Amino acid sequence: MKTPETLDEFLAFFEAVKREDMDGNGDPNDEYGFYVRENLTFSDLFFEEFGAYPSKWVMRDGVMTPGIILPEMEDALAFWKMLYDNGYINPNLFTNKANDWIAGILQGKAGMWKHQVGNYNTTWNKNEFVDPNVELSLIGGPQGPKGKGISPARNGLQYAWVIPSTVEHPEEIVKFLDWFWTEEGKRFVLFGIEGATYTVENGEIKWDINDPVYKDNEGYAFHQTTLNFQFAVNNMSEGYPALRSSIPDYDKITAGFQTAKDNIIESDGRFMPDLKAFQNHPELVPGTGAGTLFLDMFAKVLIGRESIDEAFDSFVAEWKRRGGEEAMKEATEWYHSYYGN
List the one residue out of 129, 80, 123, 132 whose CA is nearest residue 98.
Answer: 123
Answer yes or no: are the C-beta atoms of 40 and 288 closer than 8 Å.
yes
Average pLDDT over residues 113-120: 89
Per-residue pLDDT tens digits for 202-228: 888 888 877 887 777 777 667 777 777
Q: In sequence order, which residues have a C-beta less than 8 Å from that of residue 92 and are 6 or more positions away?
A: none
- What ranges do the domains of the chain cover? 7-154+266-339, 170-230
Amino acid at 233: V
Among 18-22, 113-117, 200-204, the range of highest mean pLDDT: 113-117
Average model confidence (pLDDT) for the chain? Answer: 90
Is residue 145 classed as helix, strand or coil in its secondary structure?
coil
Query: How many Cβ atoms are within 10 Å of 125's Cβ, its own excluded?
Result: 15
What pLDDT is recorded for position 99?
95
pTM value is 0.86
What pLDDT is recorded for position 158?
66
* Fold type of domain 7-154+266-339: D-Maltodextrin-Binding Protein; domain 2 (3.40.190)
Give the torsion through C-alpha atoms of 301, 22, 129, 247, to 10 deg. Answer: -90
Query: CA 208, CA 247: separation in Å to the nearest integer?
Result: 8
What pLDDT is recorded for position 2?
93
Query: CA 9, CA 6: separation in Å to the nearest integer?
Result: 5
Return contacts of 93-96, CB within 8 angstroms, 24+ apart.
Answer: 93/36, 93/37, 93/38, 93/40, 93/43, 93/302, 94/38, 94/39, 94/299, 95/38, 96/35, 96/36, 96/37, 96/38
Is residue 59 classed as helix, strand or coil in its secondary structure?
strand
Higher pLDDT, 231 or 158: 158
Query: CA 53, CA 72: separation in Å to the nearest integer?
Result: 9
Per-residue pLDDT tens digits for 223-265: 777 777 765 544 554 556 666 766 778 888 889 989 999 999 9
For 297, counting Cβ atoms within 10 Å of its Cβ (0-12 exposed, 13-18 middle, 19+ buried), the class is: buried
